[in-house]
Amino acid sequence: MSHSEDTHPQSISQPQTVVIAIDAMGGDHGPRVTVAGAAEALSRDTSGRLRFVLHGDEALIGPELAKLPALKAVATIAHTDQFIAMDEKPAQALRRKGTSLFAAITSVKTREAHAVVSAGNTGALMALSKMLLKMMTDDLERPAIACGWPNEKGGMGTVLDVGANVTSDANQLIEFAVMGTAFHRAVRGKDRPTVGLLNVGSEDVKGHEEVREAHRILREGVDGINYHGFVEGDDIGKGTVDVIVTDGFTGNIALKTAEGTAKFVKNLFKGALKSTPLAMAGALLASSALKKMARSVDPGAANGGPLLGLNGIVVKSHGGAEAWAFSNAVSVAISLAASTYEHDIRQALAQVNSAHGLKSDTVPADSVADEKVS
């Protein structure tokens, strides 16, 4: 596939054309969802600058694309009949250069695309992205996974890390704050998002040594970070701050707990509404409001977790996402690709490292992110 020069990613200025690579074979549903999700994301775009490259089996992608003329007009299929299974080990994925995921990530490396979106195997996505794209700076050990988190204020917070780094030292937590700030600014449009460190209490003496040290440095002042202080678990849903920083072990447990609780409450509520004829009549009268509430707490509303810190934009979708949820992950990639996000992170990390001499001392443990994200 050839592109004119204006399709090449720009690190500072916004590109005239935004090219999104889709791993069309990734996830539980493959092209049925990934192609429809790309089309839905396109329908929300008003710029007229979007182009898509759908990586995967043309025999499976083609019929889905034929149903969507608006997408077909701006999409190209990059054929391969190889794909990475959801239960495939990352080590195996690294050796298979002909897969749809390998090709999609490579297109970002070669500047044929500005961003890649996949609902596929998380472990393989992480390993291939790091191998092919490398990290933004030598100090960063591995990407941090960020996720959107709906709050009671009606907005969307950002939580990171939610699975890439089991343990994180103080320097890494500060790097997460820098990357989370740049991400939130690019995707949520807030110029100076507030940042909080997740802890077991708000007092300075609470928490383990690494989180207390990160708190001390951030409280003294780090350029570009609008630091609030310690926050607790219930502050995430309250929207106390815009960006919540934690290690991947804690963040992953918080995320899965929240998703499980949301499903439990949803099912409990549905059961209650069907319990009596009067309840069913009330549900019918309030159906539009109930649908709006259900959509707002649906994990799909916040779908799309970027791997922050890479030398390129990679966004992970839930493996079981349907088209609407997958489209939200695509929209995250579009927002990042059309922003100065990568330049902002590089500049901010350079300033922080220069001012504070930060360099991580520990090599993070293995990722706790599921190879299959539900």
Q: What is the per-residue pLDDT for 291? A: 64
Length of the chain: 374
Cα(266)–Cα(175) distance, integer angstroms: 36
What does the pLDDT look like over 48-107, one tens digit per residue?
Answer: 899 999 999 999 999 999 999 999 999 999 999 999 998 888 898 899 999 999 999 999
Give me the domains of the chain, ranges plus CATH numbers.
Answer: 1-135+309-339 (3.40.718.10), 144-301+340-368 (3.40.718.10)
Sequential DSSP letters for 121-187: -HHHHHHHHHHHH-BSSTT--S-EEEEEEE-TTSSEEEEE-SSS-SS--HHHHHHHHHHHHHHHHHH
Residue type at 137? T
Name the pairing type of β-strands 156-160 and 144-150.
antiparallel
What does the pLDDT look like over 119-143, one tens digit per residue?
Answer: 999 889 999 999 999 988 777 777 8
Cα(191)–Cα(184) distance, integer angstroms: 9
SS3 of the chain: helix, strand, coil, percent, to 5: 45, 15, 35
Q: Is the pLDDT of residue 358 over 90?
A: no
Q: What is the per-residue pLDDT for 15? A: 62
Higher pLDDT, 141 or 161: 161
Most confident range (mean pLDDT) of 219-233, 256-270, 287-301 is: 219-233
Q: How far is CA 332 from CA 14, 21, 98, 221, in A?
A: 15, 13, 26, 29
Question: Average pLDDT, stretch 256-275?
Answer: 78
Cα(158)–Cα(51) distance, integer angstroms: 27
Query: What percent of the chain is modeled with pLDDT above 90?
Result: 47
Higher pLDDT, 53 or 293: 53
**The two structure tokens encoding residue 38:** 């790309």
Q: How far is CA 266 from CA 55, 246, 263, 293, 305, in A?
A: 35, 27, 5, 10, 23
